[in-house]
Amino acid sequence: MKFFYWISQTKIWESVFRTKLPISTNLDRALVIFNSLSLHIHPIKVRERAIKFTYTFYLGMISFFLFLVLTITGILLMLYYQPAIPNAYENMKDLKYVVSNGNFLRNMHRWSAHLMVISVFLHMLRVFFKGAYRPPRQFNWIVGVVLLIITLLLSYTGYLLPYDQLSYWAVTVGANIARYVPLIGEELSFLLLGGNNIGEYTLVRFYVLHCVILPAFMVMLIAFHFWRIRKDGGLL
């Protein structure tokens, strides 16, 4: 305790955390939130009911946490994965049987992906049943819909990467569904696959979408989503 107190009084601590410790007044409490990048997702003053578990079931934060897990495990998987034929499938097998703890990592990525789809969906249900989509929050609801779509697209693009039978046919079916889009369907499927059938180009395209483009959009939109929560007056 004494040690912690000493640290909290050093110049370095003060330069990082602007709030003077120990906290004594309500103003200090507000400043802790106000001065912190991660905490200021909350407004300076929060209604007590809004931070109760049963109010949000923390579903948004659980989704965000799963996204962090997916990012970390995904980046680690990238170190052993090459988006090429036949390397992709072999790399995936190596991850399972050769790389230390590779199977654990892969399963973590996969389970988190499934859980993220579920938690994002449940989060949406909670917002719906609380009526939190109504003005002034209507635009954040739209942002949320896009976030759900990106989550699903990440699952779809990630599914091709192991390049096994399941991947191949799931993506064939998906690309053929895209073909039914009026007018631009054929073009869309050709662009997505980089050809008429799944091949080398498809694998690289899906890899870049999965590991760079979609996560980048995801990060930007999540940040915007959080910022809007505050600007719309905190949780309903």
Give contact residues for another protein (rule: CB under 8 A).
169, 172-173, 175-177, 190-191, 194-197, 199, 201
194 touches which of ligand HEM, another protein, none (CB within 5 to 8 A by kind)? another protein
Q: Residues binding ligand HEM: what is the number (CB under 6 A)?
A: 25
Q: Taking CB under 6 A as the rule, does residue 144 contact ligand HEM?
A: no
Stretch near ligand HEM under the rule CB under 6 A, chosen from 131-139, 153-161, 169-177, 197-205: 153-161
Residues 161-220 that bind ligand HEM (CB under 6 A): 161-162, 210-211, 215
Q: Taking CB under 6 A as the rule, does residue 62 contact ligand HEM?
A: no
| Separation in Å, CA 184 to CA 146, 150, 189 | 21, 21, 9
Q: Taking CB under 6 A as the rule, does residue 70 contact ligand HEM?
A: yes
Sign of the alpha-carbon torsion through 19, 37, 39, 229: positive
Q: Taking CB under 6 A as the rule, does residue 109 contact ligand HEM?
A: yes
144 touches which of another protein, ligand HEM, none (CB within 5 to 8 A by kind)? none
H helices, E strands: number in the chain: 12, 0
Distance CA 113, CA 41 (A): 24
Q: Is 41 exposed, middle or buried (0-12, 13-18, 19+ CB in 10 A)?
A: middle
Q: Taking CB under 6 A as the rule, does residue 124 contact ligand HEM?
A: no
Q: Binding ligand HEM by CB under 6 A: which of 59, 62, 63, 92?
A: 92
Would you say 83 and 72 are in contact if contact means Cβ atoms under 8 Å apart? no
110 touches which of ligand HEM, another protein, none (CB within 5 to 8 A by kind)? ligand HEM
Compute the least distance from the CB of residue 229 to another protein, in Å: 32
Is 74 strand, coil or helix? helix
Contacts 24+ apart (CB under 8 A), 128-133: 130/236, 131/236, 132/235, 132/236
Residue closest to ligand HEM (Cβ)? 74
Nearer Cβ to ligand HEM, position 60 or 235?
60
> Residue 8 contacts by C-beta under 8 Å, 6 or more apart in sequence?
21, 22
